[in-house]
């Protein structure tokens, strides 16, 4: 249970309510407020536009340098997983708030940058507010079909169109006509590749309470399996310490299902060793419609795991 | 994925190194930094218990995962989890009520075996949790997933140590009497709503929808599905008949494996004496121009 006092404090400057789900416009204007409040730490980078021409903004946390080794975090690639986007918002605020006061985070940001894409699927997110709370995919039109959208986490160039994705446009796991066909995916691919110095790639989803590493597109162990598993278990131990929330750790393929065209498989194959995917609360009681009073507890416990991973990345340069 | 392509890719990766263009020197295949444990040691799980070491698991070589593991299963991995989820649905059909909605807490152990001409049978030790309370209870269960040619629904046997005995009788009686006395028939929609909010007065109808949905989810489950109820889209109370409260439900089910949201209409009856029954169930197409999808394998 979150203390009432904590909830009051969590409202932050300007009174933004981190314990509520907000529409896109509210999140975008909050981003501008955050950047304005931390001009020496955060910049807002437009990495491209969505299918329906909405800007996609990444918050870049950096204390300087030129293309420092960087950590990537995306939330909300599947639009119905609302606690993911909400966790992204809280986490961005947390990084801004703790920079300068938390020794570990401050040291991390001395040598590394953090990039956060909070609304990785803006069109889908809007659609979940206006039309269908259970919408998962992008909103692109599929020629020859009345069904719209591609599953953006089956659209990456990693085992693309293999088992664990559908070739049917009406399916919620439709992989799309080709790898990176979705502009939302392509924008991220372009950023990561042109930057060239990402050391960690973390994608945040919901629900199931899992922390996973590659592969999804096949069930073979990646060469860094032991290390990734060890990091994952330590991160989950930290997460659990806050409220007792239990997570499982393992490769995507073994823990949840074989799924091709996933983002962290792509990032791992690109050489970004510390690639992880979270599935946040819960385990099915509320599922995608997690009550808003669980946002801050979820984000808070997840932060402990994220921090562990980031500290590990900082301490193990490659 | 084609094995030949995999081999070619593996060779190319070995020859070219990481395709990632970096300013700093990337060492492909560098040894796991910080891992001082002997490669054969069994790592400890976060909670201090020994991580399960799989024996007798069929090794996959990167081809489609169509061979299911037999023997002792890793309780964290999906085959055991999916089977346990089926047990959860079974328990709901047997014991569920507006005040007893069963959830899965943990899988302790699991094994699977091929049963000639019948299918695959799982034996499970699990803990379940009543969503309406805080207690967990241990259960032993067997799940038989029939071979394709047979009937589709899994068969479940389960015995739970405390048999979900949190005393709900008083609450159930009170609710039953209250609903019977209603002059206007109850209805509700979007339980919970988009924000996860649900009126406390509507919670029993949400739970009842969850229990009723378990009848469908039990029937529809295979080794390739993992169902939860995503939301009650609509519930309408009908006239009481034969002392049974009656409801029309429109529920949204979520299959984790396909990620589909599936719509079902249910005709549900309930009384404390008779428990929950589903008299009719009908799957609805996902959209106007869609067809009801063919049953997965």
A10 counts as catalytic:
no
Distance from CA of B241 to the nearest CA of A (A): 30
Taking residues B243-261, what's their average pLDDT?
A: 98
| Nearest residue, CB atoms, A146 vs list B34, B229, B289 | B289
| Nearest residue, CB atoms, B78 vs list A172, A257, A270 | A257
Hey, what are A50's tokens?
């969505």
Taking residues A297-303, what's their average pLDDT?
A: 98
Using the CB atoms, write b or e for A169-206: b if 16+ within 10 Å: bbbbbbbbeebbebbbbebbbebbeebebbbbbbbbbb
Note the pLDDT of residue A143: 97
Strands (E) in B131-218, as ranges, are 136-146, 155-160, 187-191
| Nearest residue, CB atoms, B64 vs list A163, A229, A250 | A163
Average pLDDT, chain B: 80
Note the pLDDT of residue B177: 96
In whole angstroms, what is the distance from residue A308 CA to residue A237 CA? 10
Taking residues A61-69, what's their average pLDDT?
A: 97
Note the pLDDT of residue B69: 81
Q: Confirm or reject contact between B200 and chain A (CB < 8 A).
A: no
Q: Where are the alpha helices (DSSP H) in B51-100?
A: 78-95
Q: Do A270 and B18 touch (CB under 8 A)?
A: yes
pLDDT higher at A14 or B141: B141
In whole angstroms, what is the distance from residue B104 CA to residue B158 CA? 13
Query: Would you call B120 exposed, middle or buried from its count of C-beta atoms within 10 A (0-12, 13-18, 19+)?
Result: buried
Nearest chain B residue to A256, by CA: B78
Distance from CA of B238 to the nearest CA of A (A): 26
- In the block, tokens 């509210």 appear at A26
Note the pLDDT of residue A233: 98
Note the pLDDT of residue B131: 80
pLDDT at B101 over 90: yes
> What percentage of chain B exceeds 90 in pLDDT?
62
Note the pLDDT of residue B167: 79
Note the pLDDT of residue A15: 85
Side-by-side strand order, sheet with B155-160: B71-73, B102-115, B119-130, B136-146, B155-160
pLDDT digits (tens, 9 = 90+) for B35-91: 333 333 333 333 333 334 333 333 333 344 446 788 999 999 999 999 999 999 999
Taking residues B23-27, what's their average pLDDT?
A: 33
Q: Which listed residue (A184, A279, A301, A311) is catalytic?
A: A279
Distance from CA of B197 to the nearest CA of A (A): 6
Element (H, E) at A190: helix A183-195
pLDDT higher at B94 or B149: B94
Q: How confident is the model at residue B30 (pLDDT cuts 50, 70, 90)?
A: very low
Q: Which domains are delineated in chain B?
A: 71-283 (3.10.450.10)
Phi, psi of B236 (to 5 degrees): -130, 130
pLDDT at A150 over 90: yes
Residues of A in contact with B47 (CB under 8 A): 237, 240
In whole angstroms, what is the distance from residue A28 CA to residue A25 CA? 5
Q: Which domains are delineated in chain A?
A: 1-315 (3.40.630.10)
pLDDT higher at B28 or A111: A111
Distance from CA of B81 to the nearest CA of A (A): 9
Note the pLDDT of residue B3: 56
Note the pLDDT of residue B185: 92
Q: How confident is the model at residue A276 (pLDDT cuts 50, 70, 90)?
A: very high
Q: Do A227 and B193 touch (CB under 8 A)?
A: no
Q: How confident is the model at residue B162 (pLDDT cuts 50, 70, 90)?
A: confident
The answer to whether the beta carbons of residues A281 and A298 sit under 8 Å apart is yes
How many contacts, defined by CB atoms under 8 Å, are there between A and B? Answer: 158
Note the pLDDT of residue A1: 43
Note the pLDDT of residue B49: 38
Q: How confident is the model at residue A43 (pLDDT cuts 50, 70, 90)?
A: very high
> What percentage of chain A exceeds 70 in pLDDT?
96
Q: Examine residue A282 and say whether the peptide bond preceding it is cis (omega within 30 degrees of 0).
A: yes
| Nearest residue, CB atoms, B29 vs list A67, A223, A257 | A223
pLDDT at A33 over 80: yes
pLDDT higher at B149 or B22: B149
Nearest chain A residue to B45, by CA: A233
Note the pLDDT of residue B183: 81
Taking residues A58-65, what's their average pLDDT?
A: 98
Average pLDDT, chain A: 96
């Amino acid at each position: 249970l979150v203390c009432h006092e904590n909830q009051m404090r969590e409202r932050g400057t300007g009174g933004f309510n981190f314990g509520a789900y907000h529409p896109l416009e509210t999140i975008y204007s909050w981003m501008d407020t955050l950047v304005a409040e931390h001009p020496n730490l955060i910049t807002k980078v437009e990495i491209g536009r969505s299918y329906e021409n909405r800007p996609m903004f990444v918050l870049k946390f950096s204390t300087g340098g030129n293309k420092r080794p960087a950590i990537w975090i995306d939330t909300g690639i599947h639009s119905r997983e609302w606690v993911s986007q909400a966790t992204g918002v809280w986490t961005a605020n947390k990084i801004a708030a703790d920079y300068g006061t938390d020794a570990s985070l401050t040291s991390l940001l001395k040598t590394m940058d953090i990039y956060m894409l909070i609304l990785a699927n803006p069109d889908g997110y809007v659609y979940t507010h206006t039309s269908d709370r259970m919408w998962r995919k992008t909103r692109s039109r599929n020629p020859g079909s009345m069904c719209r959208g591609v599953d953006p986490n089956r659209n990456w160039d990693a085992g693309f169109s293999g088992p664990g994705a559908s070739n049917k446009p009406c399916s919620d796991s439709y992989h799309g006509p080709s790898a990176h066909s979705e502009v939302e995916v392509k924008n991220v691919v372009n950023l990561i590749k042109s930057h060239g110095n990402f050391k960690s790639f973390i994608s945040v989803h919901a629900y199931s309470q899992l922390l996973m590493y590659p592969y999804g597109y096949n069930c073979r162990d990646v060469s860094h399996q032991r290390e990734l598993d060890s990091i994952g278990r330590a991160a989950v131990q930290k997460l659990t310490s806050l409220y007792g929330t239990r997570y499982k750790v393992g490769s995507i393929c073994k823990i949840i299902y074989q799924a091709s065209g996933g983002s962290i498989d792509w990032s791992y194959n690109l050489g970004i060793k510390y690639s992880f995917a979270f599935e946040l609360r819960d385990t099915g009681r509320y599922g995608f419609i997690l009550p808003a009073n669980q946002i801050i507890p979820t984000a808070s416990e997840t932060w402990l795991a994220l921090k562990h991973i980031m500290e590990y990345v900082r301490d193990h340069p490659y | 994925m084609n094995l030949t392509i995999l081999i070619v890719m593996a060779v190319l990766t070995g020859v070219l190194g990481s395709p990632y263009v970096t300013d700093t020197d990337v060492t492909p295949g560098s040894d796991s930094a910080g891992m001082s444990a002997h490669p054969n040691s069994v790592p400890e799980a976060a909670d201090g218990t020994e991580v399960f070491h799989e024996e007798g698991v069929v090794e996959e070589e990167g081809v489609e995962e169509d061979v299911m593991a037999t023997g002792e299963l890793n309780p964290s991995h999906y085959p055991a989890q999916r089977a346990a989820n089926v047990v959860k649905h079974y328990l709901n059909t047997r014991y569920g009520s507006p005040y007893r909605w069963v959830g899965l807490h943990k899988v302790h152990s699991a094994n699977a075996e091929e049963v000639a001409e019948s299918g695959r049978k799982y034996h499970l030790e699990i803990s379940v949790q009543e969503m309406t309370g805080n207690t967990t209870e241990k259960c032993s269960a067997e799940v038989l997933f029939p071979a394709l040619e047979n009937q589709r629904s899994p068969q479940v046997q389960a015995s739970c140590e405390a048999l979900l005995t949190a005393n709900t009788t008083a609450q159930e009686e009170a609710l039953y009497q209250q609903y019977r006395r209603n002059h206007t028939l109850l209805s509700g929609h979007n339980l919970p709503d988009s924000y996860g909010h649900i009126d406390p007065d509507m919670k029993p109808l949400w739970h009842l929808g969850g229990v009723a949905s378990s009848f469908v989810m039990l029937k529809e489950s295979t080794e390739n599905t993992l169902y939860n109820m995503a939301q009650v889209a609509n519930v309408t109370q009908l006239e009481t008949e034969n002392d049974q409260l009656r409801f029309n439900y429109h529920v949204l089910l979520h299959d984790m494996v396909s990620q589909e949201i599936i719509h079902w209409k249910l005709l549900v009856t309930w009384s404390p004496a008779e428990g929950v029954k589903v008299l009719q169930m009908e799957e609805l197409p996902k959209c106007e121009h869609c067809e009801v999808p063919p049953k997965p394998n």
